[in-house]
Amino acid sequence: MSKYAIGLDYGTNSCRSLLINLDNGDELGSVVFPYPSGELGILTDPSDPNIARQNPQDYLDGLEAIVCGAIKQAKEKDTTFDPSDVIGIGVDTTGSTPLPVDEEGTPLGLKPEFKDNLNAMVWLWKDHTSHQEAANITATAEKMRPSYLAKCGGIYSSEWWWSKIWRCLNVDPEVFAAAHSWVEHCDWIPAVLTGTTQPDQISRSVCAAGHKAMFNDEWNGLPDKEFLTQLDPALADLRDRLYDKAVSSNQKAGGLTSEWADKLGLPEGIAVAVGAFDAHMGAVGAGVKEGTLVKILGTSTCDITVAPNDKTLANIPGLCGVANESVLPGHYGIEAGQSAVGDIFLWFVNNLVPDSYGKTVGEKFENMEVELAKQKPGETGLLALDWNNGNRTILVDVRLTGLLLGQTLHTQAHEIYRALIEATAFGALTIIKRMEEHGVQVREVVNTGGLSLKNETLMQIYADVIGLPMKVASSEQTCAMGAALFGAVASGTVTLEEVQQASCKMQERVYTPHPENQKTYAKIYQLYRELHDAFGTTEWQGKIDHVMKDLIDLRQQARTGK
């Protein structure tokens, strides 16, 4: 008799379910529910483009729709499937995406008195209204508590927990006062499913806490009151109503309530795992383990790996997160990322590619890829920096911009596209090098996300630049897959290793580095790194007049073979 698990993946614009067979990872059902509120599920305000909120009711409506839908599909696909064999549910969400709740754990945004107040709604990760608060937290921590910053790459972000909550205090004291506590989206869904929404009963995800709320056992949990008082005494007061314990997703948040069991058509009491952020569960769903880096290749990237937690791992400068058990039990979770990858390609195709390559965005990409696949490393003579949206890792600096050099009067769009792909590969290599400098080994890369499935030339360039085998996860829903696996593990009947082994499959095609290409790219990477350091760091000082000339020489070599 097979057992099953369900993963729930709450994204920025929609939520999605995945129902898998734990024997083999077969995907029996998957349903998407676009959030009905706002623009594509995001509540905005024309007066401030930084505002991005969500309606908690959308999450609840989606929950029922996607679980029931997946069960229905599974029954149709496999007549032996029985919902009573589902042993657990796991949940991942975007983050940091906190919501204010009252003493009962009811989101303020669901209460009639606040239903029209955006500040009472869920503060979505991409809400950037709190950039000033983030800067102040960084400045204060630099002075008082540099250790806090060391865990998050040196700069606290407006995308994170404390920035958003402090922002709410600053702009809407009434909402802040009405909030007995704040809860991460990824903690609230399991709380709902297990009937434990009262703030002091909610299991708090170590993944969400460790990265974004500056929670660490080294300093007894959340930032201390002296520090928070320095920001605002009201935040220090709030600390008492938050949490002092955070747990990993192999733990059970609780059992499914009878009410939800009825609604969803699932057995009462089955395990609901502690939640986590989407990228972390995506890494697990893609098979992350020691030596394996998972790259989630999308509009931006999230790069995740793990290291054993049997010894203290030094802080890794420039990485936006090292947190114990945030990804796998018994391991440090290590998180990095590039601020824009697919977004750079989309910007380029939307703004700078003429219609001679095709009428639609899809055609343009396709035809450019045909052309650029014919070129050798170095042949374009171009070199780009992948900073159109700043640099998240390893420079942690939003005040950086793109750069392209080497263009002549003959440079064509597909050559620039190739240079942009290479730039993102160089950026990816820079992250891996930084991990390795600090003792985190990377022996292979597992890629997931749209680009890894669609763009073979890109994957080969990545292999040649990074110099490691590039695998691609079979599942197109690795986040939901990871959530399902944690659901299963939380049942206590299987280990994470077992279910990962059974379910995390790779595509047959592995992209292996081509030695000649690797050699050329090693030279170009030196040039990339010089530009990276020259434009991106305050330490660099030197000469760069050789860069254009070296690229001309490499172009000549690629064209003539000498």
State the residues that interact with its own copies by CB under 8 A. Answer: 340, 343-344, 347, 350-355, 381, 385, 387-389, 399-413, 416, 534-538, 540-545, 547-549, 551-552
Task: Name the residue nearer to its own copies (CB basis): 120 or 413.
Answer: 413
Q: What six digits make up the tokens of 128?
A: 């950037």
Question: What's the residue count for the chain?
Answer: 562
Q: How far is the CB of 402 from its own copies (least distance, A)?
A: 4
Task: Name the residue nearer to its own copies (CB basis): 229 or 411.
Answer: 411
Q: How far is the CB of 35 from its own copies (least distance, A)?
A: 24
Rounded to the nearest 10 degrees, what angle do helices 131-144 and 161-171 cross at?
Answer: 120
Q: How far is the CB of 546 from its own copies (least distance, A)?
A: 9
**Letter for the amino acid at 310?**
D
Task: Name the residue nearer to its own copies (CB basis): 178 or 403.
Answer: 403
Q: How far is the CB of 417 from its own copies (least distance, A)?
A: 11
**How many Å apart are CA 219 and CA 146, to the nearest integer?**
12
Q: How far is the CB of 540 from its own copies (least distance, A)?
A: 7
Task: Name the residue nearer to its own copies (CB basis): 127 or 172.
Answer: 127
Task: Name the residue nearer to its own copies (CB basis): 236 or 403.
Answer: 403
Task: Name the residue nearer to its own copies (CB basis): 258 or 537.
Answer: 537
Q: How far is the CB of 385 from its own copies (least distance, A)?
A: 8
**How many Å apart are CA 383 and CA 407, to the nearest integer?**
9
Select from 510, 526, 519 the least CA-distant residue to 433. Answer: 526
Per-residue burial over 535-561, b = 16 or more CB atoms within 10 Å of its CB, e = otherwise:
bbeeeeeeeeeebeebbeebbebbeee
**How many Å apart are CA 443 and CA 288, to the nearest integer?**
12
Q: How far is CA 505 from the centre of its chain?
A: 20
**How many Å apart are CA 170 and CA 357, to the nearest integer?**
50
Q: What six digits make up the tokens of 50?
A: 């930084």
Q: How far is the CB of 455 from its own copies (least distance, A)?
A: 19
Q: How far is the CB of 387 from its own copies (least distance, A)?
A: 8
Task: Name the residue nearer to its own copies (CB basis): 169 or 421.
Answer: 421
Task: Name the residue nearer to its own copies (CB basis): 219 or 535.
Answer: 535
**How many Å apart are CA 292 and CA 444, to the nearest integer?**
5
Select from 207, 206, 192, 193 the least CA-distant residue to 277. Answer: 207
C-alpha pair distances (Å), 176 with each of 99, 100, 130, 261, 555: 11, 8, 15, 34, 59
